[in-house]
Amino acid sequence: MIELSAIHKHYRMGEQEVRALDGVDLVIGRNEYVALVGPSGSGKSTLMNLLGCLDTPTSGRYLLNGRDTAQLTEDELARVRNREVGFVFQSFHLLPRMSVLDNVMQPLVYRGLPRAERRRRAIEALERVGLGNRLDHRPNQLSGGQRQRVAVARALVGEPSLLLADEPTGNLDSRTSAEIMALFDALHAQGQTLVVVTHEPDIAAHCRRTVRVMDGRIVGDHPNPPRAAAGAA
Ligand SMILES: Nc1ncnc2c1ncn2[C@@H]1O[C@H](COP(=O)(O)OP(=O)(O)O)[C@@H](O)[C@H]1O
Ligand SMILES: [Mg+2]
């Protein structure tokens, strides 16, 4: 479903050229559960932003669900971002003045669905993340873990083929992080394709495959050993 070939992303910083990505080849299939790891500054977020069509490469080819993303117009890219990709960020990115329900309904506004249908789907997504009883709360009335679950519901509400999470547990304590990862594990078991950026080995261990990035290149790519059944979850 994802096929990157010879992807480069260069930034010009005055005289200097920063090679954020420097020749990346990567194939990710449907229902894979991939950890993207590597030190700070190695290019992980740049790669995620390209996968999510939030950004375009300097050169190389990116096929998403069989379509060459370079051939898409701005409108088509916006549509892909809205329909095919769900994004979860470290700092949640919820709208503070809106209720939980309105935050989750937001991505569906662009779909031309009647309000009742948007509401129904948003409630369903919130139930999937265990927050069906928090619809009218504001984000600041929730814990960090609950906020991140709202963000996951918002990412899922449009039924994207790909869920991307960039350091989703970076602002959470270890117990709450484990809850978010248990949620991702469940989504994976239900057929979701996930790519999770992290620099924490405990988080990466939830995934089935680890791709290691260093200096804008992929320097490792291996299946993860099977996890022991999580007793304390
Ligand atoms: N918009 C930008 N302009 C200039 N340099 C950038 C930009 N975005 C990222 N970089 C540089 O690209 C490299 C990779 O960054 P990033 O993808 O954010 O790494 P990571 O997420 O692994 O920490 C870093 O050297 C960073 O400074
Ligand atoms: Mg980053």
Residue 15 maps to a domain? no
Residue 22: which pLDDT band, with cuts at 50, 70 and 90? very high
Residue 121 maps to a domain? yes
Q: What is the mean pLDDT of residues 196-205?
A: 94
**152 Cα distance to chain centroid:** 9
Overall domain count for the chain: 1
Please provide the distance, in angstroms rounded to a whole number, between the alpha carbons at the two ends of the chain: 31
Q: What is the mean pLDDT of residues 60-66?
A: 96
Residue 112: which pLDDT band, with cuts at 50, 70 and 90? confident
Residue 210 maps to a domain? no
- Using the atom order of ligand 1, give the atom closest to the CA of residue 213: 22
Query: What is the layout of strands, in order, in the sheet containing 209-214?
Result: 85-89, 162-166, 193-197, 33-37, 209-214, 217-223
For ligand 1, mutation pick of 12, 45, 46 (most atoms within 8 Å of CB):
46
What's the rounded Cα separation, in Å, for the pair 105 and 1?
26
Residue 124 maps to a domain? yes
Residue 183 maps to a domain? no
Per-residue pLDDT, 111: 87
Domain interval for residue 155: 92-159
Asked if the model's pLDDT at residue 59 lies above 70, the reply is: yes
Residue 97 maps to a domain? yes
Q: Say how many Å lie between the CA of residue 136 and the centre of ligand 2.
A: 32
Asked if the model's pLDDT at residue 20 lies above 80, the reply is: yes
Write out pLDDT tens, residues 73-92. 999 999 999 999 999 999 99
Residue 137 maps to a domain? yes
Whether 53 contacts 77, CB under 8 Å? yes
Give the CB-side neighbour count of residue 35, counting CA atoms within 13 A. 24
The H or E element spanning position 103 is: helix 100-105
What's the rounded Cα separation, in Å, for the pair 105 and 154?
7
**42 Cα distance to chain centroid:** 18
Q: Say how many Å lie between the CA of residue 41 and the centre of ligand 1.
A: 6
Residue 105 maps to a domain? yes
- Amino acid letter for position 75: D
* pTM for the structure as a whole: 0.94
Supply the DSSP symbol for 52: T
Write out pLDDT tens, residues 202-226. 999 999 999 999 999 999 999 998 8
Per-residue pLDDT, 160: 96
